[in-house]
Chains A and B, each alone.
Chain A
């Protein structure tokens, strides 16, 4: 379990990183926190000739207020997100989901950007980012473009970030005052989600004015349960079960060692109700 040999570069700016990538072509791989990439290299599932470490690019790290949105640098590690005041105030759902990722050591190294580009369907960052209707900033040789989260995830481990491109920022429209909960079903702590449901709601009086629901590991990409979101409008806390039971509709979840597709569909409905109920509590 040792990687093949590779060259290592650690540029200090995005431009420098882009030119290194352009030069290296297909043979380069970007390194963020390394929590997914290093296991892949060690198992020799990938053997890049050059590894481009983004760790020294300060501009890619941190959370700032962008007016109607908050902007999170792609290299911001999980541990910084969890306690960030802006995130907790305007995108609580993301903080709740990130809290459940792995253990403190991994949250110290792993980054939000790395997780999004890696796009593991069992990863916990995709569903909240999708549900919060984030916009992702991608730069490449041709300049900068923005991609809606709904367009970003393309398939298993596949996003719209192309070779030679970098994800630089995640912009999340402010969901100030929205309650949020991330219900992650695992058998042991520090396990990847078997299924998880991300829910965030805005209340009006005692009932739901708006809801956003994201699903983790219910298909090859994170999914949004828009039918449930609509059905929830106007519902009170004691009145969620029926709307939520449809959470798995139209999904095609995997069957694996932790459960088959039927079980996952069942869980999605249960977890959706639990998540929405907790989100309503704050």
Chain B
């Protein structure tokens, strides 16, 4: 623990030896889908006759063909009392489509070529309906996405702590900010994919899915197909990125593909293509926000009143997790005074909205940090100073905000040292020297700005994760946890933890994730919970195994277990290293045998003479095997935090925006592997940069996604991601045995806020809408110049 151990998954993945969904199922039948070209329409007729003419077509399904529970709407995975109007789609559209890309017909054919040819021959007649696109239109409520959802409101939730109206009225200063933040999407390199094998003799299903939750998919598919859970196993192969979109389940295809496999008695596979991913998976981020803040002369918050309107797309399978997180995590490291937040989660005729790395936090952080900058500007105060004056102090931990978090539990920060983090950040970026740098740049005709953003991230939400640890007689240690992995480095960090806890060489430890055959109880990989939940679970399981190993070894060596220690796979008496027994021998002894299949097994057989003839081979309270299992289930989330600063340059004539420096101070408690933490931060910042400067889902009024390809949807390349300077603080979490907090989403959260802050600083006018492109910045300059009575003269091109 704590060492920068090289990621053991890298050699395999980097040399092309990964095994992703599409690498499986050679020879399987392949599925393709006819998807709606309209954002909102009624289905009048579906003509499949022509498609049947094609050689190699095995099945064509519409909603009419679906039986029983497969024909019912998809589940509302996370119900919430405030979600009065939850709506989900069907596996295949029934009567109505609500976004471009919704699946209408499924074709199964010999291969994907034939399947797509068949799709092209299917004609669906639609009666188009007016589309609801964008938060503003949805909020107007004059057009409805679902006829029976008035005002397009899926949920309306209000939380208040303290008396906001009174505190606001008494505040010496108030400001109101109107803010907008656009949609983006996870865009994993590998899209979704499902491969199903139906064993007709056994009546069982093995399903491979590129998912963030194999246990979730297993339960959902068993329920939909009305199969006993024992007859369904779900395995995740290597997953080429998730970032949130693959936590949603079951996707229609995850139900339809195994259903078709059972129907046809054949292996069936579907691999999502990029265009499908754009229009039929999920997006996130889109919100309009209105923040009113009351503060004193020193910039201290007295009252904060936030309203926001959240675009949840056409359906709400994942509930209102995203806006709840925005509403609660908006507060960051600050004491808000009285706080009221109310949101409306609104339907639009667009792709559904479910968590994307950061999951509502980037929007919340953006609202809060724009507000902090506005207060500083209003009071003529240093922006870092205003933040620092509002910080929750280390001696005020644990800090209970009095709100309910996304897990239905109190929003209570367990630890953190915000003043220390800020001090580190200021030192890292050179906060106090920036004025001089700006002046120097100005003399060269260059425009630069400094931005800052702080956040707190609730990580490692429950309910639980499990760990199973088993020592084989060869000395190999098998570790299983049920959550899935998408490249985070779980194989490495979980092995580090078990190696430390058990006292075995790192190389002997082998980790399996996301396989319901190995661990049937699990939740999934989301909410920066992998290290916290499974890390602690495998540590607890390793402790169980360690205790058992010590007990068996103590009997063999005739000493007390307390006198023993395990190191390098050998149990030895403390202070007497000569008196020892190898852990693999303990494994042999733990499992009395009748049959010898190799030399070590022979040592455990009944005539080997190593056992006490008066006790049964396996004791009353004992089990064979050197293995153990345990679960970690916390009472609440643990709260990590971080602060970012960026130096940005804007071209005075073209309005091109360049990030010159990007600094991160991050505190995720005890770091299991600092290199992996930094990697997570780097990847997160890269996605944050995408969200701040490039990515948006551009829908036209009719609900067509205009940039549904990598030609038009811009993402940062290595060339656009700045060098990231990092520093760490390690404030352990008091809540879990290892003292760790999550780190997966951290890097992404404040980037839009930080870049907006820096551009605002460079330009001298407020930035209220993100992401921002050079063209938009140029337009803003024109508008501000036109309304400014003393416009800055048009600048000469310094280049």
Binding site for B on A (CB under 8 A): 1-2, 4-5, 39, 43-44, 185, 187-192, 241, 257-260, 263, 266-267, 270-271, 273-274
A258 touches B720 (CB 8 A): no
Confirm or deny: B707 has a beta carbon within 8 angstroms of a beta carbon on chain A. Answer: yes
B653 touches A270 (CB 8 A): yes
CB contact under 8 A between A188 and B117, given known A270-B654, A274-B799? no
Listed residue (B117, B654, B693, B720) with the most chain A CB atoms within 10 angstroms of its CB:
B654
In the docked arrangement, what's the CA distance between A274 and B651, Å?
Answer: 13
In the docked arrangement, what's the CA distance between A44 and B121, Å?
Answer: 13
Partner of B693, one of A1, A187, A266, A273: A187
B717 touches A258 (CB 8 A): no
Confirm or deny: B17 has a beta carbon within 8 angstroms of a beta carbon on chain A. Answer: no
Confirm or deny: B413 has a beta carbon within 8 angstroms of a beta carbon on chain A. Answer: no
B274 touches A1 (CB 8 A): yes
B797 touches A257 (CB 8 A): no
In the docked arrangement, what's the CA distance between A212 and B50, Å?
Answer: 56
B273 touches A259 (CB 8 A): no
In the docked arrangement, what's the CA distance between A273 and B799, Å?
Answer: 9
CB-CB contacts of B706-724 with A at 8 A, as 1s and 0s? 1100011011110110000
CB contact under 8 A between A1 and B653, given known A189-B717, A270-B797, A274-B797? no
In the docked arrangement, what's the CA distance between A260 and B773, Å?
Answer: 12
Partner of B775, one of A192, A260, A274: A260
A230 CB to nearest B CB, Å: 22
In the assembled complex, which residues on chain A have CB atoms less than 8 Å from the CB atom of B517?
A: none
Confirm or deny: B437 has a beta carbon within 8 angstroms of a beta carbon on chain A. Answer: no
Partner of B112, one of A2, A43, A270: A2
B779 touches A263 (CB 8 A): yes
In the docked arrangement, what's the CA distance between A43 and B711, Å?
Answer: 13
- The residue on A at minimum CB distance from B716 is A188
CB-CB contacts of B727-763 with A at 8 A, as 1s and 0s? 0000000000000000000000000000000000000
Confirm or deny: B113 has a beta carbon within 8 angstroms of a beta carbon on chain A. Answer: yes
In the docked arrangement, what's the CA distance between A263 and B719, Å?
Answer: 24
In the assembled complex, which residues on chain B have CB atoms less than 8 Å from the CB atom of A39?
A: 711
In the docked arrangement, what's the CA distance between A187 and B655, Å?
Answer: 11
User: Could you list some 7 contacts between A and B, CB below 8 A?
Assistant: A2-B116, A4-B120, A185-B654, A187-B774, A257-B706, A257-B712, A270-B653
B714 CB to nearest A CB, Å: 5
In the docked arrangement, what's the CA distance between A189 and B721, Å?
Answer: 11
Size bin of chain B's contact surface: 20 to 34
A188 touches B775 (CB 8 A): no
B116 touches A191 (CB 8 A): no
Confirm or deny: B694 has a beta carbon within 8 angstroms of a beta carbon on chain A. Answer: yes
Binding site for A on B (CB under 8 A): 112-113, 116-117, 120, 273-275, 653-654, 656, 693-694, 698, 706-707, 711-712, 714-717, 719-720, 773-775, 778-779, 796-797, 799
CB contact under 8 A between A257 and B720, given known A191-B714, A266-B778? no
In the assembled complex, which residues on chain B have CB atoms less than 8 Å from the CB atom of A4?
A: 117, 120
B719 touches A189 (CB 8 A): yes
CB contact under 8 A between A188 and B717, given known A5-B117, A257-B698, A259-B774? yes
In the assembled complex, which residues on chain A have CB atoms less than 8 Å from the CB atom of B712?
A: 257
Partner of B778, one of A191, A263, A271, A274: A263
Listed residue (B694, B775, B779) with the most chain A CB atoms within 10 angstroms of its CB:
B775
B698 touches A267 (CB 8 A): no
Listed residue (A39, A192, A267) with the most chain B CB atoms within 10 angstroms of its CB:
A267
In the assembled complex, which residues on chain B have CB atoms less than 8 Å from the CB atom of A270?
A: 653-654, 797
A192 touches B711 (CB 8 A): yes
In the docked arrangement, what's the CA distance between A43 and B715, Å?
Answer: 21
Partner of A259, one of B653, B711, B775: B775
A257 touches B711 (CB 8 A): no
B774 touches A188 (CB 8 A): no
A46 CB to nearest B CB, Å: 13
A188 touches B797 (CB 8 A): no
- The residue on A at minimum CB distance from B655 is A263
B717 touches A190 (CB 8 A): yes
Known A1-B274, A188-B717, A274-B797; further 16 A-B contacts with Cβ < 8 A: A4-B120, A5-B113, A39-B711, A185-B654, A187-B694, A188-B720, A189-B719, A190-B717, A259-B778, A263-B774, A263-B778, A267-B654, A270-B653, A270-B654, A271-B654, A274-B799
In the assembled complex, which residues on chain A have CB atoms less than 8 Å from the CB atom of B653?
A: 270
CB contact under 8 A between A259 and B715, given known A5-B113, A5-B117, A267-B654? no
Partner of B773, one of A2, A258, A273: A258
B120 touches A187 (CB 8 A): no
In the docked arrangement, what's the CA distance between A44 and B113, Å?
Answer: 12
In the docked arrangement, what's the CA distance between A187 and B117, Å?
Answer: 37
A217 CB to nearest B CB, Å: 13
In the docked arrangement, what's the CA distance between A185 and B773, Å?
Answer: 13
B113 touches A187 (CB 8 A): no
A2 touches B775 (CB 8 A): no
- The residue on A at minimum CB distance from B714 is A188
In the docked arrangement, what's the CA distance between A187 and B689, Å?
Answer: 12
- The residue on B at minimum CB distance from A47 is B120
B773 touches A188 (CB 8 A): no
CB contact under 8 A between A258 and B654, given known A4-B117, A187-B694? no
In the assembled complex, which residues on chain B have CB atoms less than 8 Å from the CB atom of A263?
A: 774-775, 778-779
A44 touches B120 (CB 8 A): yes
B717 touches A187 (CB 8 A): no
Q: Which 4 A-B pairs have the closest CB atoms?
A: A259-B775, A189-B719, A1-B273, A263-B775
B694 touches A188 (CB 8 A): yes
In the assembled complex, which residues on chain A have CB atoms less than 8 Å from the CB atom of B720?
A: 188-189
Partner of A188, one of B116, B707, B715: B715
- The residue on A at minimum CB distance from B799 is A274
In the assembled complex, which residues on chain A have CB atoms less than 8 Å from the CB atom of B698?
A: 257
Listed residue (A5, A43, A192, A263) with the most chain B CB atoms within 10 angstroms of its CB:
A263
